[in-house]
Amino acid sequence: MSLIRTPPRSALQGLRVIEMGQLIAGPFAAKTLADFGAEVIKIEPPEGGDPLRGWRLLQDGTSVWWQVQSRNKRSIALDLRAPAGQDLARKLIAEADVLIENFRPGTLEGWGLGPEALHALNPGLVMLRISGYGQTGPYRDLPGFGAIGEAMGGLRHLTGEPGRLPVRCGISIGDTLAALHGTIGVLMALYHRKAHGGPGQVIDVALHEAVFNVMESLIPEYSAFGAVRGPAGSALPGIAPSNAYRCRDGVVLVAGNGDSIFKRLMTAIGRDDLGQSPDLANNAGRVARVAEIDGAIEAWTLQRSVDEALATLGAARVPAGKVYTAKDIHEDPHYRARDMILRQPTRDGHEVDVPGIVPKLSATPGSLRSPAPRLGGDTDAVLREVGLSDKQIAALRERGIVG
């Protein structure tokens, strides 16, 4: 059954967002706002649209990833490289609250759509600009993708096993972190505008800075001790015990690093000698003997299946879990109970399961209101809304300005 619905109230109802840019960072930020009721108008190039439409696994020629990234949005096909296309963009932006773009710095300025020009047109406009290195600094003009931001931000150096090549986490986490930071910035700027009568402003998010912002103690440790943190596989350096442990039929993750949790963990695995040791009563002591502790835990897990280990650890109130695959997530009752797997129709007549909406708001929850759009599926309707006649739209289409 389709779960497209309109809630009684939406947190961002009445907010109009213009989305420029492609692929991941900018569109993810816009998707987050759209999930909570913002009207998002996505501008795509008439030839081919957003490349994400063709990424990874396709259904009837369209990526199923697209169904997530562009749900709740409208699509207008518009050539922003053409002066007439830029004029149409100005009409849209003049009536918008937010503009999101993730072009290389200087691109909008080259089109006459930089902050100075747009704020003269719409003083309250909030502009979110996501780029590899930010709008300023010596690297601003270099091309930057999420993978490069993850490396420069310090994340890639910590991923993988010691002595081996760094690995990526398997998703475009740098882009998503930048998108989430950008979304936070948009909401803060909107609050400032409404609560304090402030003007619109520019939110400058660099991919590597978004990654760097979540790197915890990396720089303080280097500053204070000259310590360069390195990769540690599945362990969490300086925190013990917290690791992955082999079972007969798989792997369990155990986070037994709280003082009282550690004692319960040791009791559960039959090692009260370690749990009651004064030397291991706090984290510093456990870190000094982490190899011994990890060995004791894995000696216990190797004798058990994943399910048996989790049952025992759960009964002891020790945080533990298995490594979920897509199949595990899809079949898990907790995901279903919290509406984190939703059935969404597509414009091509299919239905596909997609991730639910985060966070959960009690009074104004997010919702799936419309499927991801076809390329240019809303061009005519949107242009009519800003005053163009059908004849004008047809003339622009003949010139290739709109699709």
Active-site amino acid positions? 175
The whole-angstrom separation of Cα 128 and Cα 136 is 15
Categorise residue 309: left if φ over 0, alpha if ψ from -120 to 50, beta otherwise.
alpha
The whole-angstrom separation of Cα 270 and Cα 302 is 14
CA atoms within 13 A on the CB side of 351: 8
Q: Could you tell me the two tokens for 211?
A: 């990654």
The whole-angstrom separation of Cα 80 and Cα 108 is 9
The whole-angstrom separation of Cα 158 and Cα 316 is 31
Question: 10 Å Cβ neighbour count for 388?
Answer: 18
